[in-house]
Homo-oligomer: A and B are copies of this chain.
Amino acid sequence: MHMRVGVIGGGQLARMLVPAAIELGVEIEVLGEAPGAAAAIAVTSIGAADDAQAVLAFARDKDVVTFDHEHVPQAALQQLVASGVAVRPGPQALAVAQDKLLLRERMAALRLPQPVWARVDSADDLTAFIAAVGGRAVVKTPRGGYDGHGVRVVTAAADVADWLGAAPLLAEELVPFRRELAQQVARRPSGGTALNPLVETVQRDGVCAEVIAPAPRSAGRVADAAADIAVTIAAALEVTGMLAVELFETDDERLLINELAMRPHNSGHWSMDGAVTGQFEQHLRAVLDLPLGSTAPRDDWSVMVNLLGGPADGDLDARVPGMLAQHPTVKLHRYGKQPRPGRKIGHVTASATELDEAVFQARAAAAFFSDPPVQS
């Protein structure tokens, strides 16, 4: 049993790994981009994730290295492996989460359901694709996108003229979907997996806003299909740690793979409070090749609402007492970040026996942190 884990990247995912590490008795050290990171309490080195020397120096005395994000270049990952560090998930798996074109190719090879897509190398390619899918398409830069960045809905190649110079791009049909779902699975290097309940994710402006666990009206066929997809991907790509598969549920009741994340994921934050084993504890267990914990929900329903942006006056602290006074059963998680428009600065989770109650509690609690301020 190896017990010193290094995390590359000091954001909120690294921050939320810390409590789980403390409980399991695992030493955790973080490579942060700059002082004052969300995970500052565990930051032991400062360096950029794309600085191979910084990453190698940080990893030297770690038993296992894992990630806050997917932005470590393949060259650095390969050097880490060559130097004998256990990198989890490994470079081959991470490559598929780093490159959306590679993702589409691998999912196609696995014959898994996904939107109609094409690799686009030129304006002519894209014009042809747009025509083939009915006049509108989604275009994505294969690398570096997150939270809606690097994604555009287009009707003509000219809409991404600025991107075409750096082709290839990924073009996809605009999927007519009923809702978005996410299926998480944890996988150990020795092969064991543990599935989380399928959840519904609500996006606003390309950013995750709310998660409902479990996804309403998903028992049976839908949940089984999502589970099969996630386990197939985890095994085929030999993912280690948490894998999140973002899915579209189409108007005609198919599930199509949208994107993958190979780390704890916003769609799983509810599990910290709402499941027997939270996703951060599960990620540590998985990357350390420890037996995985029960993923059973602790309540009938849990609803997570992201705190986005925060109050315009920047005084997040001032909003806390009112929220806690009105919502004694809601769990607050702050990320140690200064408010800024659109930024994820925390989340709240409410659990209840009735979905309506959990939704109300979580949304009302989150509203304390938005503008105009809610009176209490």
Q: Are B18 and A318 in contact (CB under 8 A)?
A: no
| CA of A47 to CA of B132, assembled, Å | 72
Can you list 10 A-B pairs, Cβ within 8 angstroms, ordered by A? A1-B317, A1-B320, A15-B22, A16-B22, A18-B22, A25-B346, A276-B328, A276-B329, A290-B324, A291-B324
Does A57 sit within 8 A of B, measured CB to CB?
A: no
- CB contacts under 8 Å to B, within A330-360, are 331-336, 346
- Among A16, A328, A346, max chain B CB count under 10 A is at A328
Find chain B residues with CB under 8 A from A277 CB.
328
Minimum C-beta distance from A304 to chain B (A): 13
Does A23 sit within 8 A of B, measured CB to CB?
A: yes
| CA of A362 to CA of B66, assembled, Å | 31
Find chain B residues with CB under 8 A from A336 CB.
25
Interface segment among A147-155, A164-172, A241-249, A293-301: the answer is A293-301
Known A-B contacts A41-B18, A41-B41; the reply to A320 vs B23 at CB < 8 A is no
Known A-B contacts A19-B18, A336-B25; the reply to A1 vs B321 at CB < 8 A is yes
The main secondary structure of chain A at its interface with chain B is mixed
Minimum C-beta distance from A141 to chain B (A): 34
| Among all A-B residue pairs, the 9 with the closest Cβ atoms | A25-B334, A19-B19, A291-B325, A291-B324, A294-B328, A294-B329, A1-B317, A23-B333, A293-B328
Known A-B contacts A317-B3, A320-B1; the reply to A296 vs B25 at CB < 8 A is no
Minimum C-beta distance from A346 to chain B (A): 7
Find chain B residues with CB under 8 A from A328 CB.
276-277, 291-294
Minimum C-beta distance from A45 to chain B (A): 15
Contact with B along A299-331 (1 / 0, CB 8 A): 100000000000000001110110011001101
